[in-house]
Chain A
Amino acid sequence: MTLYDTTMPDDKPADGQPAPAGLKPWGETKVVGTRAPRIDAYERVSGAAIYTQDISLPGMLHAAILRCPHPHANVRRMDLSKAKNMPGVRAILTHESPSADLPWFFGDKGPMSKLFDPHCRYEGDEVAAVAADSPHRAWDALKAITVEYEELPFVSEIEEAMKEGAPPVHEGGNRGRVRTSERGDIAKGFAEADVVLEETYRTSCELHTPMETHASVAQWDGSRLTVWDSTQGVFDVQKTLAQYFGLPSSSVRVIGHYMGGGFGSKLELGKYTVITALLARDTALPVKICLSREETFLCVGNRPANIMQLKAGVKNDGTISALHLVNVGSGGAYPAGSGVGYLVQDLYLCRNVKVEETNVFINAGTARAMRAPGFPQCAWALEQMMDALASKIGMDPVEFRLKNVPAYSQTRNNTPFTTTGLKECLTEGARVFGWKEAKATIRREGTIRRGVGVAAGMWGWEGSTVSTAIVKLFADGSANLNIGASDIGTGTKTVMAMVVAEELGVPLERIQVENADTATTSFAPSSGGSQTVVANSPAVRKAAVEVRTRLLELAAEELKCTVADLSLNDGAIQTLTAPARTVPLHELQSLAQREMLVGVGHRDPHPQGKIPLPFAAQFAEVEVNTRTGETRIVKFVAAHDSGRMMNRLTFENQVFGGIAMGIGFGTSERRILDAGQTGKMVNANWHDYKIPTAVDVPPEHTCISVDPHDTECNNTGTKGLGEPATIPTAAAIANAIFDATGIRVTQAPVTPMQLLALLAGQEKGGRQ
C-alpha cells in the first residue's frame, strides 16, 4: 500500500479526466441516511456467518509456522527427523525445501528477503512450517523441530539504531534516506512569528490485533488455486498470489465473505497465505492456517513508533507563520515506512512548512498500514502544539483552529477542497459539548481534577476510483447487488444495498448482496483507507440507475406512455398523468418476459480541479486522579464531515469505534520490547497489551454528522469516515489532561505510571 507514504508530493496533479456528466447527489432521501440495521446482521449474531476460521473442507490439513524466537539470528542447522515421523504430519517446509525457496518482497523495494529467510531479522520471522491432520499435531511437530541459531547483536530502539556502530539490521545500516518536503521559507516564517514553540512528541508502536487472527484456507484443483482469506481486499490478494505463482488471475480465486476485522493489517498478502498454498500443493489436500494471537502481535504489522520534533511559529493574531517537523520512526525490520507529515502540511493554513522524515530499521516486526497510517501520530504532535500555541497567544483553542481552516489543499498546488466541513465540525462540536461553559467552569483543583480538550483532523487520501457494481432486478421486483468489496465490519453491504433501495424502491430485505469473491463479483479496491463507501457507492448508484432507466423504458412501452409520465415507487410503476395507474413490478409483463434486468455501474473519476477529503473535530472531558495517575474519559463529542451520512446506525458505530481505538492509542496501547536484554516483545498478548474494554470508553458519547452537502465529490456525496474517526482522539484527551493538570504529556500512551511520575515532578517543581 502507498498509504504509508503520507507525505504527498507537492505537485500531485489533479485527475486529468473529464468530470462526470449527470447524476448529482440526491437531495431528499428515503432510505439513505436512516437508521437501518445491517442486512447481514442475522448471520453475524446467530453464529451462521462463515469466517475463514470456520471453514472446514474434506481432508483438510492444518498448518502452523515455526518462528524465530530471537530478535536477530541466523539459522545454522535444523533437525526435522523427529517431526517428520510424528503421527499425522504430512509436510514440512523450510528454507531448504525446493518448493519454498522463494523471494519475498516489501512494496516496490524488490526481493529483500525470502519466504523462509535463514537470516531472521525479528522475533517471529518464519523458519519452518508444518501441515498435519489436526492443529494440535501441527503444533506438536513444531515443538519437535530443533533449530540451532547463531544469535546476532540486535537493536530494538529508534535512537539506538541510529547510533554509529549500531548493529545493522540490513547491510548499509539502519537509517533510511531523509525525505524532505518544503514550501515557503520557514526561516522567514519563524522570524515573523510572535511566539515560537518547540517540543518533541513521541508515540508508541501500536498493534492492530483484529479479533479474528489472520487466517487462510488453500485448495488446489490441478493448477487452479482457491483461497479463503480473512482479508480486506480479495482482488489484491488474488493479484499478488497470481503473480507469485505465475498463474493467470482466472486461475486464482480468493473468497472473503466474512472477515473478523483488519484495521490495515489485512490489506496485503501475508507469508502465511503463500505457505498454506505451498503446503496444499505439496500434499494435494486443502490446508488451513489460523495464526495464534501471539503471532498477530509479532509479525502481521503495526503502527510504527515515532519521535516527532515539531517547531511552530504563530503571530499574536493567530496566523501560523511556520511549521517544521522532523520525524524519525521505525517501521521495523523491513521497509514499510513511518511517515507522519501530512497533517502538518495540510490541516491548517500555513505558508512556510518543512517536513523531514527518516525511517530507521530495528529488529522488530514490520509495520503495515494501520487505520489512518501516520495521522494519529501527527495529530498527537500537531494538535497538542496547537493547544500550546493558543494558550501562549491567549486565544481559545477552538477559535485559534477556526482562524486557520483551509479551503484548499496546500499539498496539492492549493487545489480547492470540494467542501471543508472543518469549521462546522469545530463550531457544532463545541456547541454540543458546551465548550465555552466547560472551559469557564470546570474544576481543575483537588485530588480529582477535570479538564476539557479539543483536537481536529482530516484524512489525506481521496481513495481509488476503480470500482464496478452490477445490479440485477428479478421479475418479482427483488434485487441482487454484486460488488467486489469486503465488508470489514463497517456495514459496506448494508450501505450499498441502501443505495439500490433508494434508486429502485426495493425494500432492503428484498436485496441480496454478493460480495468479496474474485470469481463471482466485479472489481472493487481493498476496503481500507476510508475509501470503501467513496469508491463503491457511486458505482452501485450508477448500476441501479441504469436498471431503473431500462425498467421505466420497458414500462413506458408497455403502458403506452412516455418515460417522463412514470415514476418508480415502493416496488411499483406509477403514472404521473391521468389515468392514474399503479403497476407492481411483478405484474409488468415486459419484465416477466426478460426474467431479469441487469445494470452495470462504473465509478466516475474524481472531480477535476477539486479534492474531496473528510474532516473532524473531537472534544473530550477527562477526570485525572492525581493520587493514582488514572485518567477517566467522562464525556466525548465527535463532529465529523464525511459528506453524506449513509446509515445513521453504522455511522455512529464507526465513529465510536474509531474513538475507542484512539483511546487505546492515547492511554494504554504500546508494544514493549525487552530492549536491553533479550530484544523480545514482552507483552505479546491482550493481558499485558491493553486494548479498551466496555468500561474504558466514555459513558457519555455523542457523534454529529456535519454534512456540507457536497455536490462535487461524487454522485453519492460521500467522503470517508473510518480513518478520521480515530485521528484526533488521543490528542483531544492529551489536551484535556493538560487542561486538568497543567502537564503536557508528550509521550503516548498516557499511562497512569507516566502521569503519576509527571504529577510527582510537578509537585516538586511547583505547578506550571
Chain B
Amino acid sequence: MEERRAEPHDGNTDGVSRRDFLRTIGVGTLEAAVLSAAPLPSEGAPAHTGDLVPLVLTVNGRRNALEVEPRWTLLYVLREKLGLTGAKPGCERGECGACTVLIDGKPRYSCLTLALEADGHEITTVEGLMQGEKLGQVQEAFVQEDAFQCGFCTPGQVISAEGLLRKTPHPGVAEIRHGMSGNLCRCGAYDHIVKAVQHASEIRK
C-alpha cells in the first residue's frame, strides 16, 4: 500500500508535509522532560549516537515532553518510553504493519517513522481508540467478528481499519481488502478482518 508506506515527510498530500514538520520542530524545548532517559556513560567510549534531543510527542491527546536519540523510531519511543505497548514490532522494517498508528489521522508505520519526525503531530495508538475502559467501535467489531487469532498484528489492523473508515466511511469489499493489505496477519484472519471492517462501517456514527 503506497499510502501506508509513505513517510510523514515525503510530501504526500495525505500525510504530513516536510514544511509542517519543520514548522513544528522545536516545540519540544518548551516543556521539561517527564521521563528520565537512559543515563549517559560516565566512562568508556563516548556514545556516538547517544546524544539526546528534546521532543514533544502528542499521543492520544496527551503531550509528552521527552528526550530521545535521533535514531529512535516512533515505535520504540511509544513502547519503551511511554509504555504504550499496543503498537507491535513485527518486523521493524516497514513490511508488516503491526506497528501502525495514526499520524494526524492517517495510518502510518511507526517503525519507519523516527520519533523526531512525529514531533508536533497528533499520534493515535490503539490505546487511544478506547473510551476509558470501553472498546471503540472498530475494536468492538473486531471482537464480534473474531477478526484475529494470536492478536499480535491486531492493534495495527485495528488502527488501519480506523484510518480507512475515517477516509472512506462506507468502503466496498474490494476497498477494504486493498485498504487492509498493508497489514500482514500470519494466522490468516483476513476473511474475518474484512467482515469486521464492514461491521465497523455499519456501527460507526
Contact = CB atoms under 8 A, between A and B. Distances in A.
Interface stretch (A50-58, A196-204, A462-470): A50-58
A3 to B, nearest CB: 19
A258 interface: yes
Contacts of A137: 47
A687 B191 CA distance: 22
A641 interface: no
A455 to B, nearest CB: 18
Contacts of A657: 149, 187-189
B50 interface: yes
Interface stretch (B8-16, B87-95, B112-120): B87-95
A133 B176 CA distance: 42
B61 to A, nearest CB: 16
A657 B191 CA distance: 9
Interface string B35-73: 000101100111101100000000000000000010110
Contact of A261 (B44, B125, B186): B186
B91 A47 contact: no
B96 A87 contact: no
B49 A653 contact: no
Interface in A314-360: none
Nearest to A209: B186
A21 interface: no
Nearest to B38: A134
A50 B86 CA distance: 9
Contacts of B180: 694
Given A47-B85, A699-B173, A86 B44 contact: yes
Chain B interface category by residue count = 35 or more
A685 interface: yes
B181 A263 contact: no
A701 B193 CA distance: 13
B89 A46 contact: no
Nearest to A290: B89
A489 B188 contact: no
B135 A37 contact: no
Interface in B136-165: 139, 142-146, 148-155, 158
A53 B89 contact: yes
A486 B76 CA distance: 28
Nearest to B128: A47
Nearest to A144: B45
B84 A47 contact: yes
Contacts of B176: 694
A693 interface: yes
A299 interface: no
B74 interface: no
Interface in A686-707: 686-687, 691-695, 697, 699, 701
Interface stretch (A245-253, A658-666, A734-742): A658-666
A186 B184 CA distance: 46
Contacts of A656: 188-192
B123 interface: no
Contact of B150 (A48, A56, A259): A259
Interface string A405-426: 0000000000000000000000
A652 B142 contact: no
Interface in A275-324: 290, 292-293
Given A136-B69, A685-B95, A652 B191 contact: yes
A53 B88 contact: yes
A211 B185 contact: yes
Interface residues of A, number: 67
Given A86-B45, A211-B88, A293 B69 contact: no
Contact of B135 (A46, A56, A687, A693): A46
B148 A694 contact: no
Given A47-B126, A211-B90, A37 B146 contact: yes
A652 B71 CA distance: 43
Contacts of B183: 693-694
A263 B192 contact: no
A346 to B, nearest CB: 27
A659 B187 CA distance: 10
A484 to B, nearest CB: 18
B78 to A, nearest CB: 10
A302 to B, nearest CB: 14
Interface string A480-495: 0000000011110000
B101 to A, nearest CB: 11
B205 interface: no
A259 to B, nearest CB: 7
- Identify whether the interface residues of B are mostly helix, strand, loop, or mixed: loop
Interface string B175-205: 0111011111111111111100000000000
Nearest to A660: B188
Interface string B93-106: 10110100000000
B122 interface: no
Contacts of B86: 46-48
Contact of A686 (B84, B91, B154): B91
Contacts of B184: 211, 686, 691, 693
A43 B95 CA distance: 24
Contact of A212 (B47, B72, B87, B150): B150
A212 B152 contact: yes
Contacts of B127: 46-47
A7 interface: no
A138 to B, nearest CB: 12
B35 to A, nearest CB: 13
A140 interface: yes
Interface in A110-143: 133-137, 140
Given A49-B151, A50-B85, A649 B96 contact: no
B27 interface: no
Given A261-B150, A687-B95, A42 B155 contact: no
B130 interface: yes
B192 A653 contact: yes
A372 to B, nearest CB: 14
A41 interface: yes
Interface in A636-679: 649-650, 652-654, 656-661
Nearest to A490: B149
A653 B46 CA distance: 52
A211 B50 contact: no
Contacts of B44: 85-87
Contacts of A692: 188, 190
Given A260-B152, A694-B190, A650 B173 contact: no
A87 B49 contact: no
A694 B143 contact: no
Given A212-B90, A697-B191, A260 B135 contact: no
A387 to B, nearest CB: 25
A489 B147 CA distance: 11
Nearest to B127: A47
Given A653-B189, A659-B188, A260 B45 contact: no
Given A211-B98, A686-B96, A45 B142 contact: yes
Given A653-B146, A657-B187, A685-B91, A211 B177 contact: no
Given A293-B93, A685-B95, A45 B188 contact: no
B41 A87 contact: yes
Given A45-B139, A45-B142, A211-B96, 11 more contacts: A51-B152, A53-B89, A88-B41, A135-B76, A136-B72, A137-B47, A211-B152, A260-B88, A491-B146, A656-B190, A692-B188
The 7 closest A-B pairs by CB, nearest first: A47-B86, A660-B188, A260-B152, A489-B150, A87-B41, A44-B151, A489-B149
16 contacts: A37-B143, A44-B148, A88-B47, A136-B72, A211-B88, A211-B187, A292-B92, A653-B189, A656-B191, A657-B188, A660-B188, A693-B183, A694-B178, A694-B180, A694-B193, A695-B177
Interface of B: 38, 40-41, 44-47, 49-50, 69, 71-72, 76, 79-80, 83-93, 95-96, 98, 125-127, 130, 135, 139, 142-146, 148-155, 158, 173, 176-178, 180-194
